[in-house]
Structure 1
Amino acid sequence: MEYLLLIVGLMLGAVLLVGVGDRLRLPWPALMVVLGALVAVVPGLPDSFELEPELILPLFLPPLLFATAQRTSWALFRARWRTIALLAVALVVVTAGAVAGVAAVLVPGITVTAAVALGAMVAPPDPVAVEAVAGPVRMPRRLLSVLQSEGLFNDATALVIFQAAVLATVRGDELSVPGLVLSFLLGAAIAVVIGLVVAWLARQLLTRIGDTVGRSALTLVLPFAVYLAAEEAHASGVVAVVVVALQLRRLSDADEAADRLVQRSFWDVVELLVTGIAFGLIGLDLRQVVEQAGDDLPRMLGHAGIVCLVVLGVRAVWMTAASVLFRHSKDPSAGPRAGREALVIAWCGMRGLATLALALSLPVQTAAGEPFPARVELTLIAVSVLVVTLLVPGFTLPTLVRLLGVAESAETEERAEQDIVRRARRAALQRMTARLDEERDESLSEEVETAMRDRLGRLDSVLSGESLTEDERQRLLALRERRDLMQRIEADALGAARAEVLAARREPGVDPEAADRVLRRLDLRTVLLG
């Protein structure tokens, strides 16, 4: 019962801190970490939230990845494959290698493979943390979408490295680099196939479920199902979830206005509550990590501070090099193209759920029955990197963006939404003109106006409850028929507009978030019209 109360308390805390964060202009997930740490020292609560480490990723990661991936598109990934390769794969590998080298020198009794496991734990920035912290900040959408693209796939790279390193440590073997590369490529390929197959099956099932609530419930089950299926096939559950989300958005139909509205609201609530529990869990586990360190805490914190500097330094250098590489890129959605943009993206390397889950999932002992090398210190270092990279940027990012002037360039990106609005309006007007030509009746406007004037002219008698004459009834009936016709024409025009927005969303260079905002307004108008 105490754990249930704790979960309910964390969900309530998340709801309240969203409002507090908006008022203080601070990221509420970072506030949740602070709240969790404060709650952890309250007397009478459990010493630790004893959730099985192997359950953390399957419980929290699938829904959060699914929610984040729905905000992007295949076209954006195709246009950004170089950026994704450089950030989600190469940067993770370089960071893991740099941290492993430093840890091998600093941490007493650590093995090379255990050091690599630590590097994999702290290498991947968390897409949920990035979205929650950087999303509300007035920064260019191009930079935020680069961070989202990086975060959606870097967990897959880190998980492959971590699992191989831990297995080698437990068995006492050496780490095989060719085996790692092969495992990553094979796991990603199988995951893509699984994701595409599950998305097709889900689409067939969604078309056969008549209830909007039922269809929304199915989308909640899908991320967990595809994640577990991919993991059972020894593939990447992360990649499989992202593929399902992207493919379902690609297959979305223009006439599914009500479904999109319901599912958007539904997933906003799910994301809020799951994120609140996850980041509250991070804070709750801080006390357990500190208690395990005991008297060695000062020395371990010193090592953790050095590793934090290495993580931040590697990312800063890498982003600076990336800004030089992308400076003359023809792709308008490419990575950082200036030094100040590189600094902002480097500062947004927030670690989160994956780092915590991997740290807590370290085995207690090896196959030989010996303690896992430096397990307590590795866990402390990983959690320290998480806290530093989450809290420090979380509370300083708005100021940094304002001081660097990066926020000013966000104004120009609002034009992208207006371009989509113009396309939607043009499609709607073309369709409406065609329908009016089909339904051409010269007396349409005159008849409607005459009926309305007569009706309003007798407003007093209507309000007093006097009955209508037969002639008035006939005129009102004609008015309703004309009104229904106009509503059908407007609905047809809105359908053309929605189809145009969805087509624009699938095009390279179009911001999916801008398209989604326009589509949401069209969906609302369609539902109100119906």
Structure 2
Amino acid sequence: MVVLAQAATANDQATVLDFPLQAHLLFIGILFLGTLAISRFSPKIGIPAILGVLLLGLSINVNILEITHEQASTFQLLGLALLLFYAGLKTDLAAIRGFLEYGVVLAVGGVVVSSLILGGLIWLLGSPWVESLSSGIEVIPLGAAMLIAACLGSTDAGATLSVLRSVRDKVPLRLQHLLEFESSVNDPSALLFYGLVVGIFVASSAAGVGPSLESTVLTQIKIFLQQIGAGLVVGFVFGYLARFVINDLVEERSQLLVVAMSVAFVVYGAATLLGGSGFIAIYVTGLFLTNTRYRSPEINHVTIQEVLLPFNTMTEITIFLVFGLLVYPPDLVEALPVGILSALGLMVVARPISVLMLQPLSPFSFKESLLVSWCGLRGAVPLALSYDLIVAIPRIRGIDPLIVGELSKNAESIIFIVVVVNLFVQGISLPFLARTLGLNSAPEVKSGQPT
């Protein structure tokens, strides 16, 4: 009887312990069904699907999943790696022939210029001089402002192209290829630039004691170049090896998923252990795999993209959903003025300047460049980086410990507000601008010219 009673008690305890897991699974299932409905409905009203998913998470905003920021940061790191791998797979060099150099300059230079301008603007908006805006929000030091801006350096190809889909006949195919290429390349560029900014403004020790700023800048530039170089080498080497793996081990399409995901994780881990940028390496590997030929006629870059597309979509949706679930709506109120003005500054000042200043190097017309300057929709990468930002802010050189908690909360809120405003305003207005510019005739003549 005692044994039976103990067994019954253990069974009851197991049932009680299993219930939260069942509730979690039910909740997650309902959430993802909701994201599917939102993804179908949002484009019909002219906004990107990912904005609808983000707002869905914000509207629910419950803690049933009990996800900590540390856990979310780990997940976002993994998500970023997968997004960059797919971005490399989507970069078809044949499609951008004729403007490859300009695309690289636009992607890299655009990230740096727009981030520097936006960082200065956020620092100004969060300064004591603008008391009417910064009342209720702690002063934003220059280091924190630059970190926030660096988080917002990357654009989202998926959001941009999904919005342009409704006016595809108004946007030359060549220009669509440029937008997709720029968005793919500026992801690793933004991540590297963010790392450089962190190295410059964040102290290496918890006490904030370290070498001089000049010495730190030189050291971080060396590390920056080392990460790029090692990342490129590892990416090309493993990309070449992955080609042999696919040729020799993959016998049918269903096996591509396992091989591709395994290659992605191996590349990221190897590059990181060797002191390189895992993000650069994983992007380069994807770039190599999509621009090479395989032994089997059934396997090509389109096949690999189609196999990984559901996982890429799932990753991006989950990043937006988790971020929406973790943001506490009342925390956004204090940061609304600075966040909205930062979003407007990014859209009408920082992004246009970063694109139009390169117009002398551009093979595209001024109207086309104007459309490109308005296609800087922000997406999953800024949201994912915001979790690392919360960890970095307490270690900013010379920061007052008394403002760390409030500053971290406001920084996360500013990024959230900028992404939402950016996706909404540009998502609504982008098709109208494409129709107004009338790009469906003149660019066709220019596209046949050598560049």
TM-score (norm 2): 0.77
Match of 2:184, SS?
helix
Moved more, 74-83 or 187-196: 74-83
Instruction: Give the AA of the match of 2:385.
Output: L
Match of 1:388, SS?
helix
2 CA distance for matches of 1:56 and 1:207? 31
Displacement of 1:137 after TM fit? 4.2
Displacement of 1:395 after TM fit? 2.7
Equivalent of residue 319 in structure 1, options 355, 362, 373? 355
Equivalent of residue 234 in structure 2, options 164, 171, 194? 194
Deviation by residue 1:434-474 (Cα, 9 ceiling, x = unmatched): xxxxxxxxxxxxxxxxxxxxxxxxxxxxxxxxxxxxxxxxx
2 CA distance for matches of 1:166 and 1:68? 24
Instruction: Give the AA of the match of 2:241.
Output: L
Query: 2:286 matched to 1:257?
Result: no
Displacement of 1:229 after TM fit? 2.6
Displacement of 1:188 after TM fit? 1.4
1:219 is aligned to: 260
1:402 is aligned to: 435
Equivalent of residue 350 in structure 1, options 377, 385, 392? 377
1:121 is aligned to: 151
Instruction: Give the AA of the match of 2:232.
Output: V
Instruction: Identify if the C-alpha distance between structure 1 residues 372 and 356 changes in structure 2 by more than 3 Å, giving closer, same or farther.
Output: farther
Percent identity between matched residues is 24
Query: 2:233 matched to 1:204?
Result: no
Q: How does 1:17-416 map to 2 (within 5 A)?
A: 17-21=38-42, 23-24=44-45, 26-40=47-61, 45=64, 50=69, 52-75=71-94, 79-107=98-126, 108-134=138-164, 137-138=167-168, 139-167=171-199, 168-171=201-204, 172=208, 174=213, 176-212=216-252, 213-253=254-294, 255-257=296-298, 263-286=304-327, 288=328, 290-292=329-331, 297-298=333-334, 300-312=335-347, 313-326=349-362, 329=363, 336-338=364-366, 340-361=367-388, 362-363=390-391, 365-366=394-395, 370=401, 373=404, 374-407=407-440
2 CA distance for matches of 1:7 and 1:170? 39
Displacement of 1:97 after TM fit? 1.8
Instruction: Identify if the C-alpha distance between structure 1 residues 28 and 106 changes in structure 2 by more than 3 Å, giving closer, same or farther.
Output: closer
Instruction: Give the AA of the match of 1:370.
Output: P
Instruction: Identify if the C-alpha distance between structure 1 residues 76 and 183 changes in structure 2 by more than 3 Å, giving closer, same or farther.
Output: farther
2 CA distance for matches of 1:197 and 1:279? 33
Deviation by residue 1:376-420 (Cα, 9 ceiling, x = unmatched): 22221111111111222123322221222235568889x99xxxx
- Do the aligned partners of 1:322 and 1:342 also contact (CA within 8 Å) in 2? no
Long gaps (5+) in structure 2: 1-20, 127-137
Q: Which one scores higher on RCO, CA 8 angstroms, separation ≥ 6? A: 2
2 CA distance for matches of 1:247 and 1:39? 41
Match of 1:208, SS?
helix
- Do the aligned partners of 2:38 and 2:53 also contact (CA within 8 Å) in 1? yes
Displacement of 1:349 after TM fit? 0.7
Q: How does 1:496-511 map to 2 (within 5 A)?
A: none
2 CA distance for matches of 1:89 and 1:317? 14
How many aligned residue pairs are there? 400
2:3 is aligned to: none
Instruction: Identify if the C-alpha distance between structure 1 residues 398 and 67 changes in structure 2 by more than 3 Å, giving closer, same or farther.
Output: same
- Do the aligned partners of 1:324 and 1:337 also contact (CA within 8 Å) in 2? no
Instruction: Identify if the C-alpha distance between structure 1 residues 396 and 254 changes in structure 2 by more than 3 Å, giving closer, same or farther.
Output: farther
Displacement of 1:21 after TM fit? 4.6
Displacement of 1:3 after TM fit? 4.7
Instruction: Identify if the C-alpha distance between structure 1 residues 228 and 194 changes in structure 2 by more than 3 Å, giving closer, same or farther.
Output: same
- Do the aligned partners of 1:99 and 1:310 also contact (CA within 8 Å) in 2? yes
Displacement of 1:322 after TM fit? 3.0
Displacement of 1:197 after TM fit? 1.2
Instruction: Give the AA of the match of 2:356.
Output: T
Instruction: Give the AA of the match of 2:194.
Output: F
- Do the aligned partners of 1:14 and 1:273 also contact (CA within 8 Å) in 2? no
Instruction: Give the AA of the match of 1:280.
Output: L
TM-score (norm 1): 0.66
Deviation by residue 1:10-35 (Cα, 9 ceiling, x = unmatched): 43234334433565565322222232
Q: Rg larger in 1 or in 2?
A: 1
Long gaps (5+) in structure 1: 330-335, 417-507, 510-530
2 CA distance for matches of 1:347 and 1:269? 28
Deviation by residue 1:463-502 (Cα, 9 ceiling, x = unmatched): xxxxxxxxxxxxxxxxxxxxxxxxxxxxxxxxxxxxxxxx
- Do the aligned partners of 1:58 and 1:227 also contact (CA within 8 Å) in 2? no
Displacement of 1:120 after TM fit? 0.8
Instruction: Identify if the C-alpha distance between structure 1 residues 224 and 371 changes in structure 2 by more than 3 Å, giving closer, same or farther.
Output: farther
- Do the aligned partners of 1:114 and 1:166 also contact (CA within 8 Å) in 2? no
Instruction: Identify if the C-alpha distance between structure 1 residues 252 and 79 changes in structure 2 by more than 3 Å, giving closer, same or farther.
Output: same
2 CA distance for matches of 1:26 and 1:113? 33
Instruction: Identify if the C-alpha distance between structure 1 residues 200 and 394 changes in structure 2 by more than 3 Å, giving closer, same or farther.
Output: same
1 CA distance for matches of 2:384 and 2:237? 28
- Do the aligned partners of 2:47 and 2:423 also contact (CA within 8 Å) in 1? no
